[in-house]
Structure 1
């Protein structure tokens, strides 16, 4: 993957962007997550994550602003990468206490991150974020065609 998010030959093809976006989801360790409270007050924090191939799993305390916002709204925006090679995910989030995690999720999350929220403070819960929109672009020439998924369906 290039550092600029585009090749010397021009913008990446949608197929290449999808391939590289999926690679980023599989390999990156952290993601910026944006949420908002009922008054619209934004909150932006980095969190560890695990991508299961279809959804993004996050863990945070249900007592902090991000956890409270996700519980209340069920909405999240995730930003992977950096401004010149970004993958944005707009999705719906559902909270799962550690006792209700599907088999293998907690272990996979802990193996990827090296930290197991299940063994930490009891206020840690998991959130499963299901992508509705996925966009990927590098620089201005890639703004056109940046949407790879819409309404939860791949366009590529």
Structure 2
């Protein structure tokens, strides 16, 4: 297997800027939930980022919704194994009529519009509590960008 050159190590400010840009320009993520007795559950979903929260939607009667009702926490993964953003979140379920218009319109641009079947879908609002980002093993140290919902000014790991 050919060796692949490692990308240059980014400082904390550059990693944060790249992460915010990636959240704003992307629309696909992996959403992991879990609850006692059911283990981990992982689904691919579309999302929108408003600068502080992620919004997605899923079926009202899904395992994801059942898990979030039991334990309103989720982990999000964006990217591939060589350039990843992982986000630990606090989750809130919202009935379709309760979502703000801007989020609903933005979400409709990247996925099926839940407003067309409000009895089948729920929106999921995900508030980041911890964000990690790294693009190679050389960036594994210092990968935590946010803790307890606040962006860091200096590396902690």
Q: SS in structure 2 opposite 1:105?
A: helix
Map of 1:120 onto structure 2: 117
Map of 2:108 onto structure 1: 110
Q: Which runs of 4 or more aligned residues in structure 1 lie more than 4 Å from their structure 2 counterparts after TM superposition? A: none
Map of 1:90 onto structure 2: 88
Map of 1:72 onto structure 2: 70
**Counterpart pick for 2:58 among 56, 60, 65:** 60
User: 1: CA distance between counterparts of 2:88 and 2:132?
Assistant: 9
Give the superposition deviation at 1:40: 5.0
TM-score normalised to structure 2 length: 0.89
Q: How many residues are aligned here? A: 149
**Counterpart pick for 1:148 among 135, 145, 149:** 145
User: 2: CA distance between counterparts of 1:114 and 1:58?
Assistant: 9
Q: Contact 2:59 / 2:122 at 8 angstroms: preserved in 1? A: yes
Map of 2:15 onto structure 1: 17
User: 2: CA distance between counterparts of 1:121 and 1:55?
Assistant: 22
Q: Contact 1:24 / 1:81 at 8 angstroms: preserved in 2? A: no
Q: SS in structure 2 opposite 1:104?
A: helix
Matches within 5 A, 1:127-146: 127-146=124-143
Alignment RMSD, CA only? 1.5
Unpaired runs of 5+ in structure 1? none
Map of 1:101 onto structure 2: 99
Q: Contact 2:58 / 2:122 at 8 angstroms: preserved in 1? A: yes
By relative contact order (CA 8 Å, sep 6+), the higher-ranking structure is: 1
Q: SS in structure 1 opposite 2:84?
A: strand
User: 2: CA distance between counterparts of 1:142 and 1:71?
Assistant: 35
**Higher alpha-carbon deviation: 88-97 or 67-76:** 67-76
TM-score normalised to structure 1 length: 0.89
**Higher alpha-carbon deviation: 15-24 or 113-122:** 113-122
